[in-house]
């Protein structure tokens, strides 16, 4: 027999098969339980006890006052057998089994057709165990009670089975002539066993309603057909309680319990505040098994451990469904199944097995409030688990595994097909004291859903592990506490996870204990959507710390991740503890959708710029952050495609002293941000994290931003973007607080802005798209003139960089740039590509808009740079490359020096008003410009500009093979109140046409210096002042004495003087042909005249070439004989040097004159001796037919 006070055993029935002696020796402290049962039975009620004389020694019944004394019966060993045709105990009466003290078991059967109604007292002597067997049914009334030294079994089985294979039958009483002296091992049921109904609420000696109660450590069993507790109570302090509803077959009282699938069960119901209670020094064991198990209306199944003895398991099995539904109508207490320790002993484990589980306004819990460890809570449902909450009332509803003391909580495990948690229900494993919370694990093959909040809107539906003293209502009920325990880990494994309408999945810590890790694996999809109706709660997956303890990491793995309006995924720290890392792997895609662009601008961008943004208010995205001295965790995202839409955000930011985390994104496909953003910011003293993105393609449009910013003394984060295909940034919407683009900023303090590095094949910026690093800021509300050093911007595009257009409202242009609006210096801009295209008002710049100096702008384009046009509207009109100081569009004066500009390319084209500029429009000095190119072409008003207003003029250095200026184009370093800048040009050819000028003029200062070194200068000349012609000037409006210098280094070449008249008799081509050996044929000949190209090449750099290609002429053999006789030719002796018909003609390399005055050409460079010439050569040539 099972010894309940030794070790937990989730099979209570196992205890019935060992030894009857163990009825007296085995026991365990068991908690108080209440179950409500319907009344169902067969036959007529009879308030009598009538012996049936079926035994050798019949039972006798003797009335004595208000009780009936039952004696006699047949004894077999330590067993005593009674048999009655009717057995009922009316109210205010008792049935006393007056057995000997050495009897261990009393077996009482009812052989008639009546149910047994017990509404009085049943008692026995000593420690005997009492079995009541009536196949018709048993009903315990409200006043029914027990006074037994042993355990009690009520059953509607047909027979009791013993180890020696004997039976004691109620349906066939004549078959029991031989009675067993062995232990009972099982019960045999007929085809339609009666019901067992309990309504007993009898009180104990202290006046507490306990119903049917056995003594501490003893067992109480009801095994029959349907079992119903209609407000009735069953109590076995520290012992064991079993309810089994079986339809047919056999049920063991010991040994292994049959596989559930092999039996047919009936229903069990506990209603109207029924209670099944095994509370004791050691929590007792409870086993409930049926087809459908229903516990409702405030009914409870409980086992508390009050002392140092370990509690025993609480097991509920429902072949079909288990329902825990509703509150008590009288006191509002929820229906409950609970295993708890309030002492030093560990609580027993609680297990629920069913096809479906419904908890509606109820709670299943395993907790500890002292030093003992809480039991594990396991819920297994092959189909579904549905948890429905209710109004909070300081009570958690759902599945709860917690510690309120120093003992650790057990683990909570749910295994099912589908889990739904809604209307404020919870699945929680937590601690609000020194004990550690247990782990929470949910495995749902198909789906996990967490939906909404409680009807009163005070509590979110949730799955969570927590180290916290709870919501405000719990603090009001239980008081505040110092939380030092660690939160448990939360693991979800499913096909689909849906969290919506304000529900939450979280791990958190509020004390010094560490937060748990959050691990979610959803093979198909994770969806987190929306907020509660009043927007008080945002749907979320969270891992937060608000205390000294470090937060746990969060890892999400799925195929598709979607996040909807108002929802968030976050790992945050609000105090001294460090936040955990957030890792997301979505093999297919991630789609984040916010609450709209206007909300994004107002609640995120606007709040950040005004430094009103707080970590707690972040929604619509994925976040790690630090609001205290703790450091924020990192975000790692790996996916196929990533989309941020309608104001969604991904952010690693710090709002306190702690450092912000890094954001790393790796996407095999496209990353797209539309009216949304990727951010890393420090809004206080902490250091911002870095942002790193790898993808095939990046698209940022319609007000979206990718940025790191520092508002404090610590540096901002770096931005590194690598794509194999392209980076597209386009379209800043009207009214947008910030442009669309990629940014690093330092605003309002001394922290340095981070760098930006872009590496891709193609970069496209359109319609106001920008990539900028700034110190200070130029916002819609004005300039912020404070900030640390600006960051560097590096753009590397193997194929092309293309910038075009301005924003639709004309406020911003498409741009690459570094700027300073503060006293700190701006960073540098470096562009490396094959082709750079700037058009329709777009530009690349390094500017100084405050007292800080501008950075260097370097452009390396291996093929070409094309700058064209200007914007049709708005303030930023010319396209171009700019390293400038100041702007006439800003109210503050710029005194910093403009940056330098370096350009290296093959072809540089600036046309239609485009510019390359190192000018200064205010007091700051202009920077310098250096251009190294094969060809520089300025057309239709194109400019290279180093002009200044008050600062020193910019210096321009241009080196190229060819420089062309046409149609009002300019190269200028003109100055206002300062001296003009210097221009140095080195080229093979300089051409300036159609009023195109090169000027270093000054209005109120000295003119600059112009130095030109060129092999050829066409269309322009030095002039004292500018004219409608193409001019080179370095003048001053103050007068000629203030003029600059112009130095032109070009060869003095007069082409007419360099020509020489050739002799008219230089060569007579016709005579040469006529007298050659080729002409010695007796046939008419034509004429052949070559005039050549006149000595001119086809282009200025080309060599002189013939107009016609000549085939080589074959030379005469070196071995020609002096003899006038032709030498004999033998087979194979032909001379290799003799030219033959069909062989190529080689170019002549030598010349000689024959004795008769003829000139002969040959292939040998040496002079050909006339005596070696063979006159027959001409004959042989003639024979060839030429």
Q: Are 5 and 26 in contact (CB under 8 A)?
A: yes
Average of pLDDT values for 774-803? 81
pLDDT tens sequence across 277-288? 999 998 899 999
CA 160 to chain centre: 62
Mean pLDDT of 208-235: 97
Q: Which helix (H) or strand (E) holds 387?
A: strand 377-388
Task: Give per-residue pLDDT as tens, 735-770.
Answer: 888 899 999 887 777 778 889 999 999 999 999 999
pLDDT tens for residues 1114-1156? 444 444 444 444 344 334 433 444 555 566 666 665 666 666 6
* Domain end position, chosen among 531, 548, 581: 531
For residue 14, what pLDDT is reported?
A: 30
Is residue 836 in some structural domain? Answer: no
Q: Residues 424, 409: contact at Cβ < 8 Å?
A: no
Element (H, E) at 654: strand 649-654
- For 390, the domain range is 376-531
What average pLDDT does this structure show over 555-564?
Answer: 97
Write the pLDDT tens digit of every residue in 590-618.
Answer: 999 998 888 888 887 777 777 777 777 78
Residues 247 and 390 in one domain: no
Residue 175, pLDDT > 70, answer no
Q: Are residues 44 and 158 in the same domain?
A: yes
Say yes or no to pLDDT of 546 above 80.
Answer: no
Q: Is residue 823 part of a domain?
A: no
Strands 829-839 and 777-779: unpaired
- Whether the Cβ atoms of residue 435 and residue 409 lie closer than 8 Å to each other: yes
- Per residue in 36-63, pLDDT (tens digit) is 233 333 333 334 899 998 999 999 999 9
The reported pTM is 0.80
pLDDT higher than threshold 60 for residue 1102 = no
- Whether residue 789 contacts residue 749, with contact meaning beta carbons closer than 8 Å, is answered with no
Q: CATH number for the domain including 142?
A: 2.160.20
8 A C-beta contact, residue 37 and residue 227: yes
Cα separation, 554 vs 106, whole angstroms: 60
Confidence (pLDDT) at 786: 63
Q: 661, 591 in Cβ contact below 8 A?
A: no
For tokens 């027993």, the residue is: 348
Residue 174 lies in a domain: yes
Q: How far apart are CA 846 and CA 167, in angstroms?
A: 101
Is residue 830 within 8 A of residue 793, CB to CB? The reply is: yes
CB 545 within 8 A of CB 575: yes
pLDDT of residue 254: 74
CA atoms within a 13 Å half-sphere pointing along the CA-CB vector of 645: 11
Sign, Cα dihedral of 49, 243, 389, 201? positive
The structural domain count of the chain equals 3
pLDDT at 1067 over 60: no
* Residue 476 burial by Cβ neighbours in a 10 Å radius (0-12, 13-18, 19+): exposed
Residue listed under structure tokens 């009546």: 114
* 297-315 mean pLDDT: 93
* Residue whose pair of structure tokens reads 């003899």 in the numeric block: 1123
SS3 of 941, please?
coil
The tens digit of pLDDT for each residue in 454-498 reads 999 999 999 998 876 665 544 444 455 566 778 789 999 999 999
Strands 219-224, 240-245: pairing kind:
parallel
pLDDT tens by residue, 632-657 = 889 999 999 999 999 999 988 777 77
Q: Average of pLDDT values for 115-127?
A: 97
**What pLDDT does residue 1150 have?**
61
Q: Is residue 243 part of a domain?
A: yes
The continuous run of DSSP H or E covering 288 comes out as: strand 285-296
Say if 220 falls within a structural domain: yes
Q: Give percent above pLDDT 70 in the chain.
A: 79
Residue-level pLDDT at 927: 79
User: Which residues are 779's β-sheet partners?
Assistant: 782
Q: What is the pLDDT of residues 887-911, one digit of tens each?
A: 655 555 656 677 788 999 999 999 9
Considering only CA atoms, which of 47, 57, 175 is closest in space to residue 111?
Answer: 175
Helices (H), 235-278: none
Q: Cα(992)–Cα(965) distance, rounded to whole angstroms? A: 4
Mean pLDDT, all residues of the chain? 83
Q: Is residue 1154 part of a domain?
A: yes
Residue 890 lies in a domain: no
Please give the structure tokens belonging to residue 243: 């309810």
Among candidate residues 942, 826, 838, 941, the one with its CA nearest the CA of residue 884: 826
Tens digits of residue pLDDT in 323-337: 999 999 988 899 999
**Same domain as 62, residue 186:** yes
Residue 2, pLDDT above cutoff 50: no
Instruction: For residue 560, list its beta bridge partners.
Output: 525, 589
- In this structure, are residues 899 and 854 in contact, taking their beta carbons and an 8 Å threshold? yes
Paired residues of 300 in beta bridges: 34, 336
| pLDDT tier at 1020, thresholds 50, 70, 90 | very high
Banded model confidence at residue 1174, pLDDT cuts 50, 70, 90: very low
* Gap between the Cα atoms of 760 and 671, Å rounded: 14
State which of 503, 531, 559 marks the end of a domain. Answer: 531
> Measured between alpha carbons, how far is residue 262 from residues 156, 248, 249, 279 in Å?
20, 11, 10, 32
How far apart, in whole angstroms, are the C-alpha atoms of residue 88 and residue 68? 11
Q: What is the mean pLDDT of residues 2-22?
A: 31
Stronger pLDDT, 342 or 323, i.e. the higher one:
323
User: Who's near 802: CB < 8 A, 6+ residues apart?
Assistant: 762, 763, 764, 765, 835, 836, 837
Q: Which of 506, 531, 556 is the last residue of a domain?
A: 531
Which residue shows structure tokens 């880990």?
489
Distance of alpha carbon 512 from alpha carbon 128, whole angstroms = 54
- pLDDT in the model for residue 480: 52
| Domain match, 264 and 119 both | yes
Task: State residue 475's pLDDT score.
Answer: 47
Asked whether 294 and 267 are in contact (CB, 8 A), the reply is yes
Between strands 412-422 and 440-451, the pairing is: parallel
Query: How many residues are given for the chain?
Result: 1186
Mean pLDDT of 122-145: 98
Q: For residues 955 and 975, what is the distance between their CA atoms, to the nearest angstrom?
A: 11
Residue 139 CB burial class (10 angstroms; 0-12, 13-18, ≥19): buried
pLDDT in tens, 184-215: 999 999 999 999 999 999 999 999 999 999 99
Residues 6+ apart with CB under 8 A from 1157: none
Residues 84 and 217 in one domain: yes
Rounded distance, CA 545 to CA 304, Å? 32
How are beta strands 30-34 and 275-279 bridged, if at all? antiparallel
d(CA 815, CA 787) in angstroms, rounded, equals: 21
Residue 12: pLDDT band (50, 70, 90) is very low
Domain-embedded: residue 778? no
Together in a domain, 392 and 257: no
* Residues paired with residue 770 on neighbouring β-strands, in sequence order: 741, 815
Q: What pLDDT, on a 0 to 100 scale, did the predictor assign at position 9?
A: 34
More reliable by pLDDT, 1024 or 1166: 1024
Nearest to 131 by CA among 112, 105, 167: 105
Which of 391-400, 823-832, 1108-1117 shows the lowest per-residue confidence on average (mean pLDDT)? 1108-1117
Residue 424 φ/ψ region, left for φ over 0, alpha for ψ in the -120 to 50 degree band, beta for the rest: left
């Amino acid at each position: 027999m099972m010894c309940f006070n030794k070790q937990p055993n989730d099979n209570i029935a196992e205890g019935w098969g060992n030894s009857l002696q163990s009825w007296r020796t085995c026991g365990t402290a068991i908690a108080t339980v209440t179950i409500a049962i319907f009344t169902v039975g067969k036959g007529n009620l009879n308030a009598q006890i009538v012996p049936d004389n079926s035994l050798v020694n019949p039972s006798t019944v003797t009335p004595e006052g208000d009780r009936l004394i039952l004696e006699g019966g047949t004894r077999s060993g330590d067993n005593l057998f009674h048999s009655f045709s009717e057995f009922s105990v009316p109210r205010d009466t008792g049935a006393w089994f007056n057995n000997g003290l050495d009897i261990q078991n009393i077996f009482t059967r009812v052989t008639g057709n009546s149910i047994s109604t017990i509404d009085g007292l049943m008692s026995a002597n000593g420690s005997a165990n009492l079995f009541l067997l009536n196949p018709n049914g048993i009903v315990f009334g409200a006043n029914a009670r027990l006074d037994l030294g042993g355990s009690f079994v009520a059953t509607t089985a047909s027979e009791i089975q013993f180890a020696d294979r004997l039976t004691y039958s109620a349906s066939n009483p004549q078959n029991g002539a031989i009675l067993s002296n062995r232990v009972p091992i099982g019960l045999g049921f007929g085809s339609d066993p009666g019901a067992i109904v309990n309504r007993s609420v009898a009180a104990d000696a202290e006046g507490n309603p306990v119903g049917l109660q056995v003594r501490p450590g003893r067992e109480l069993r009801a095994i029959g057909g349907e079992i119903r507790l209609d407000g009735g109570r069953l109590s076995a302090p520290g012992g064991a309680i079993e309810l089994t509803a079986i339809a047919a077959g056999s049920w063991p009282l010991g040994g292994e319990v049959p596989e559930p699938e092999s039996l047919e069960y009936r229903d069990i119901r506990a209603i109207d505040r029924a209670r099944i209670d095994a509370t004791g020094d050691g929590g007792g064991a409870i086993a409930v098994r049926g087809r459908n198990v229903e516990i409702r209306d405030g009914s409870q199944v409980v086992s508390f451990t009050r002392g140092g003895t370990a509690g025993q398991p609480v097991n509920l099995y429902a072949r079909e469904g288990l329902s825990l539904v509703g509150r008590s109508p009288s006191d509002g207490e929820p229906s409950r199944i609970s295993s708890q320790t309030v002492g030093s002993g560990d609580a027993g484990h609680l297990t629920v097995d069913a096809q479906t589980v419904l908890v509606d306004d109820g709670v299943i819990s395993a907790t500890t409030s002292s030093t003992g460890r809480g039991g594990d809570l396991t819920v297994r449902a092959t189909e579904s688990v549905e948890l429905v909450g209710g109004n909070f009332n300081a009570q958690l509803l759902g599945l709860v595994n917690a510690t309120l003391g120093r003992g650790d909580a057990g683990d909570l495990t749910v295994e099912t097909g589908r889990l739904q948690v809604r209307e404020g229900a919870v699945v929680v494993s937590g601690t609000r004291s020194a004990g550690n919370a247990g782990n929470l694990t949910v495995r749902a093959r198909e789906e996990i859903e967490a939906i909404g909040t409680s009807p009163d809107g005070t509590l979110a539906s949730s799955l969570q592990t927590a180290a916290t003293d709870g919501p405000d209502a719990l603090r009001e009920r239980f008081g505040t506490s110092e939380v030092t325990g660690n939160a448990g880990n939360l693991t979800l494994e499913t096909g689909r996870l849906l969290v919506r309408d304000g529900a939450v999945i979280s791990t958190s810590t509020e004390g010094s204990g560490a937060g748990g890790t959050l691990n979610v694996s959803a093979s198909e999809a994770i969806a987190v959507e929306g907020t509660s109706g009043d927007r008080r709660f945002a749907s979320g997956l969270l891992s937060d710390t608000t205390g000294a303890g470090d937060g746990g990491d969060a890892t999400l793995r799925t195929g598709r991740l979607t996040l909807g309006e108002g929802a968030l995924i976050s790992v945050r720290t609000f105090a001294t503890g460090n936040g955990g890392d957030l890792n997301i792997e979505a093999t297919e895609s991630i789609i984040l959708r916010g609450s709209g662009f206007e909300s994004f601008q107002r609640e995120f961008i606007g709040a950040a710029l005004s430094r009103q943004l707080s970590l707690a208010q972040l929604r619509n995205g994925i976040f790690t952050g630090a609001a205290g001295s703790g450091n924020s965790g990192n975000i790692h995202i790996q996916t196929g495609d990533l989309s941020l839409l309608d104001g969604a955000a991904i952010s690693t930011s710090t709002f306190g002293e702690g450092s912000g985390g890094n954001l790393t994104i790796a996407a095999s496909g496209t990353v797209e941000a539309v009216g949304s953003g990727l951010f890393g910011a420090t809004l206080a003293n902490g250091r911002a994290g870095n942002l790193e993105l790898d993808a095939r393609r990046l698209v940022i449009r319609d007000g979206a931003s990718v940025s790191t910013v520092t508002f404090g003394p610590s540096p901002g984060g770096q931005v590194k973007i690598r794509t194999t295909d392209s980076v597209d940034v386009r379209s800043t919407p009207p009214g947008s607080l910030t442009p669309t683009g990629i940014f690093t900023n330092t605003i309002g303090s001394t922290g340095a802005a981070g760098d930006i590095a872009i590496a891709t094949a193609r970069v496209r910026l359109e319609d106001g798209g920008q990539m900028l690093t700034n110190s200070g800021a130029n916002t819609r509300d004005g300039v912020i003139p404070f900030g640390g050093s600006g960051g560097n911007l590096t753009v590397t595009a193997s194929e092309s960089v293309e910038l075009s257009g301005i924003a639709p409202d004309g406020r911003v242009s498409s741009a690459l740039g570094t700027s300073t609006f503060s006293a700190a210096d701006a960073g540098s801009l470096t562009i490396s590509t094959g082709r750079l295209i700037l058009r329709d008002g777009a530009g690349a710049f390094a500017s100084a808009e405050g007292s800080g100096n501008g950075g260097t702008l370097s452009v390396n384009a291996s093929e070409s740079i094309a700058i064209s046009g200007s914007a049709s509207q708005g303030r930023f009109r010319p396209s171009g490359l700019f390293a400038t100081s100041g702007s006439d569009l800003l109210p503050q004066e710029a005194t910093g020096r403009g940056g330098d500009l370096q350009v290296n390319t093959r072809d540089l084209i600036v046309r239609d008003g485009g510019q390359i500029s190192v000018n200064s429009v205010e007091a700051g000095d202009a920077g310098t410009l250096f251009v190294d190119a094969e060809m520089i072409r300025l057309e239709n008003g194109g400019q290279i500009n180093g002009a200044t207003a008050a600062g020193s003029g910019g210096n321009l250095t241009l080196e190229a093979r060819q420089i062309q200026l046409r149609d009002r184009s300019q190269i200028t370093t003109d100055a206002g109140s300062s001296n003009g800048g210097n221009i140095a040009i080195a080229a093979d050819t300089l051409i300036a046409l159609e009023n195109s000028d090169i000027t270093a003029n000054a209005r109120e200062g000295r003119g600059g210096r112009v130095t030109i070194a060129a092999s050829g200068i066409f269309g322009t000349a030095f002039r004292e002042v500018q004219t409608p012609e193409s001019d080179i000037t370095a003048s001053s409006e103050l007068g000629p004495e203030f003029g600059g210098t112009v130095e032109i280094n070009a060869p003095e070449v007069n082409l007419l003087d360099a020509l020489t008249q050739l002799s008219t008799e230089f060569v007579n081509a016709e005579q040469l042909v006529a007298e050659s050996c080729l002409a010695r044929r007796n046939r008419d000949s034509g004429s052949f005249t070559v005039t050549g190209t006149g000595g001119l090449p086809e282009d200025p750099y080309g060599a002189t070439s013939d107009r016609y290609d000549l085939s080589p002429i074959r030379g005469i053999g070196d071995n020609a004989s002096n003899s006038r006789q032709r030498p004999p030719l033998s087979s194979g002796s032909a001379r290799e040097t003799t030219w033959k018909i069909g062989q190529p003609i080689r170019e002549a390399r030598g010349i000689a004159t024959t004795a008769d005055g003829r000139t002969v050409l040959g292939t040998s460079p040496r002079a050909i001796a006339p005596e070696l010439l063979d006159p027959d050569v001409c004959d042989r040539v003639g024979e060839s037919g030429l």
